Amino acid sequence: MELTAILNEAPQLKKIAHWSIVIPNQSRPRFWIKWFVNPFVHKKGRGACIRKRTRLDVVPWRKFNLGECSTIEDFTAINNGVGDVIIGDRTRIGLSNTLIGPITIGDDVRLAQNVVLSGLNHNYEAVDSPIHAQGVSTKPIVINDESWIGANVVIVPGVTIGKHAIIAAGSVVTKNVPSYAVAAGNPAKVIKTYNCETKTWDKL
Residues designated catalytic: 122
How far is residue 153's CA from residue 170's CA, in Å, rounded to a whole number?
5
For the chain, how far is it from start to end, CA to CA, in angstroms?
Answer: 55
Distance CA 198, CA 38 (A): 49
Q: How many other CB atoms are there within 10 angstroms of residue 74's CB atom?
A: 13
CA distance 195 to 204: 11
187 prior amide bond cis, ω within 30: yes
Q: How far apart are CA 97 and CA 112, in angstroms?
A: 8
Cis peptide leading into 39, omega within 30 of 0?
no
Half-sphere exposure at residue 103, Cβ-oriented, CA atoms within 13 angstroms: 25
DSSP codes joined into one string, 74-109 = TT-EEE-SSS-EEE-TT-EE-TT-EEESSEEE-TT-
